[in-house]
Amino acid sequence: MNKLRAFRGLIGVSQKDITPPDGIFARNWGAATHDTADGVHRRLMLTCQTFRQKTGQDPLVLIGADLGWWKNAGDECLFRQHILQQTGLPEANLMFCLAHTHAGPGLCLDDEAKPGGHLIRPYREELVKKSVAAIGEALASETQATLTWQYGVCDLAANREYPDPEGDRVLTGYHPSVPADHTLLVGKITDRASGATRGILVNYACHPTTLAWQNRQISPDFIGAMRELVEASTKSPCLFLQGASGELSPPIQFTGDTSLADRYGRQLGYAVLSTLESMEAPGHVLTYRGVVESGASLAMWEAIPAEISIEMKTIMIEVEYQLKDFPVYAELEKEWKNCADHVLKERLWRKMCIRKAIGDGQSASVKLWIWQLGSSLLIGQPNEAFSSYQMQIRRKFPDLAIAIMNLANGSIGYLPPQDHYQLNTYPVWQTPFAAGSSDILRNTTLEAINQLLYE
C-alpha cells in the first residue's frame, strides 16, 4: 500500500488583495535608476489558511503574501508582534511566508526618507489589518476538511550560479550544466461534507527574479499567472510557499518583460494542475488487491479509503549560527556615507540592514518553525537556504509530505552549502553567516523532527 500524506481537521481559508498604493518606494535592485513603482502588472495577494483539531483550540495560521523580503529584522518582528497581539496567537502558531517577488513594495522603515518611502508605514499598518482580518475570516469559514498532499515535478527552476567566462568569480545567472531540484509539492483542501475544493497550497523553490531593474510595475512575478491559472481551474484560493531556492531561478531572468513572467507562471501552474489530477480521491490510497490471470498475470491496484491522521504538533526552536568576518554597523554606515556609486551604495545599505538585524556580535540566534499536520510537515525559517536542504530533509522522511519554506517570519541572509564559501559568489558575499551554517540548520531540523514525531 502507498503512504497517504494527509491531515483531517477544521480548516479555514481566506484571501485579501494587498496591492500597495501608487508611488510607493519599490527599489529592489542596485542597478535600478527609479525608486518608485508607476503601475501594476498583477495584483498582490495575501492568502491565509488555518488548521486545528477542534473549535476553541489555538489554530495554526499559515499566511502566504506576494511580498519580497524584510531588510530589517526588527521591522519584521514588530509587524508580526502586532498580528500576534491582535489575534492572541502563540508565536509558534503563526508562519507569515513571503513569496520573494523582486517587483514588490519596500517594507523597511529605514527607507522612509527615500522617494515614496512615506507610504511604507501606512502600507505596513494596512498589511497588519488585512492579515488580522484574513485570520478572522479564515476561522469563520472553517469546516471539517481533508488536506491531501501530492509530489509533482516542474522544470521551471534552473541553477543560477554561472562561472564567469572572463574572471575568477561566479555570476548570478543561468547555468545549464548543473541540475536543479524540480520537486513540486501540492496540497488540496477538500470539504468533507460536500467534496468541494476549498484551497490549494503550492510549495516550489524558484527565485521570482524574472522582473528586475528594467521593470517599473508592482508584480508578484511568475506567481501571479500561476495563481490565476490554478484558481480559475479549482475555484479556490491558492497559497504559494517559496521553497529552498537559494541557487534556483528561471533560466531567463533580470528583464522588464511581464509576458515572460506570465509564461513562467503558466508553466508552473500547469504543473500544479497536472499534480492535482494525479491525486486520488481525498482520503484514498492506492492498494494492491490481488492478481487477475489474463494473457499476463495482472497486478490489480485500487484506490480505497484509508485512515487520515488528525495529529497536530508544533515546535519553535532557536538555531545558533556563527557569523563570518563581517564589518560592524558603524563601519558600514561610514563607508556608505562616503560612497558615491549608486550600485555599491545599495549593497552597503543592505549590509547595514543585515548588521542591524543580527547585532554587532559574533553569533546570531534565528528561530525555526516546524508544524506537523497529520502525515505532513511544514518547516519554515527566515533565511535563504539552498535546495540541498530540502532534498536532504525529504530523503530522511520519504513517507511524509514536507513543505520547506524560505523567508518565513523574517529574512536575513543566504545559507550556502559549506563548499560554496570557497567561491567568489553573491550568496557568500551577502550572507553574514559563517561556513557550515547550512549544516547547522539541516542537523537542527532533523533533530527537531525526530523530537516532534517520536518523543
- The reported pLDDT for the residue numbered 437 is 97
- The reported pLDDT for the residue numbered 358 is 75
- The reported pLDDT for the residue numbered 100 is 98
pLDDT tens-place string over residues 169-228: 999 999 999 999 999 999 999 999 999 999 999 999 999 999 999 999 999 999 999 999
243 occurs within a structural domain: yes
324 occurs within a structural domain: no
386 occurs within a structural domain: yes
Kindly tell me if the per-residue pLDDT of 160 is higher than 80. Answer: yes
428 occurs within a structural domain: no
- The reported pLDDT for the residue numbered 327 is 80
Can you tell me the mean pLDDT for 398-424? 96
335 occurs within a structural domain: no
Percentage of the chain beyond pLDDT 90 is 87
> pLDDT-based confidence at 247, cuts 50/70/90?
very high
Residue 417 near residue 428 (C-beta atoms within 8 A): no
Closest by CA to 234, choosing from 285, 182, 198, 287, is 198
41 occurs within a structural domain: yes
Q: How many domains does the chain have?
A: 1
- The reported pLDDT for the residue numbered 352 is 77
294 occurs within a structural domain: no
- The reported pLDDT for the residue numbered 425 is 95
pLDDT tens-place string over residues 338-356: 888 877 777 777 777 777 7
Average pLDDT, the chain: 95
- The reported pLDDT for the residue numbered 331 is 84
450 occurs within a structural domain: no
Q: Is the pTM of this model over 0.85?
A: yes
Give the residue numbers spanning the domain of 277. 6-282+376-411
